[in-house]
Amino acid sequence: REVTPGSTTLTTSEPNVAFRLNGSAATYQRYHDLGVEAASVTGGRLTIDFSRSTFSTELGVTSPSMGVQDVQASGTVSASGVFQTATGNARVLGGTSLDGREAAYLFEKSLNQGALRGITMWGR
């Protein structure tokens, strides 16, 4: 579907979309010395069910001192394409393009020794 200029409502003809990870950036902040190190997103998935206004996502993230972590979240998608965590082990806040072809989100996961933060970009 085409998006009407000035529209703020999500318009997609596909009820359920599995996005692929196009890009990411992440950091791990250590609490004991306040150091920050780069983290790598090693893969993931993002599925949005536009017909039910829900999403679910999972990422693998690693850094030298943090090791391997999984990021999992699911929640709701608004009529304008904004989505946020309802359940999971991390906080997620993101959105889709109004045509439902692209998505991006910020994530944050608190750990005993620090905090993992990042951003992901998704496409079809």
**Total residues found in the chain within this entry:** 124
Structure tokens at 74: 């699911």
Per-residue model confidence (pLDDT) at position 6: 54
Per-residue model confidence (pLDDT) at position 2: 43
Q: How far apart are CA 47 and CA 55, in angstroms?
A: 6
* Cα-based angle 107, 108, 114 (whole degrees, multiple of 5): 150
Work out whether strand 91-96 and strand 82-88 pair parallel, antiparallel, or are unpaired.
antiparallel
Low-confidence ranges of the chain (pLDDT < 50): 1-4
Per-residue model confidence (pLDDT) at position 14: 78
pTM recorded for the entire structure: 0.88
Per-residue model confidence (pLDDT) at position 8: 63
In this structure, the dihedral spanned by the alpha carbons of residues 75, 77, 83 and 84, taken in order and rounded to 10 degrees, is -30
Spell out the residues 6+ positions from residue 100 whose beta carbon is closer than 8 angstroms to its own. 10, 11, 12, 14, 17, 48, 50, 81
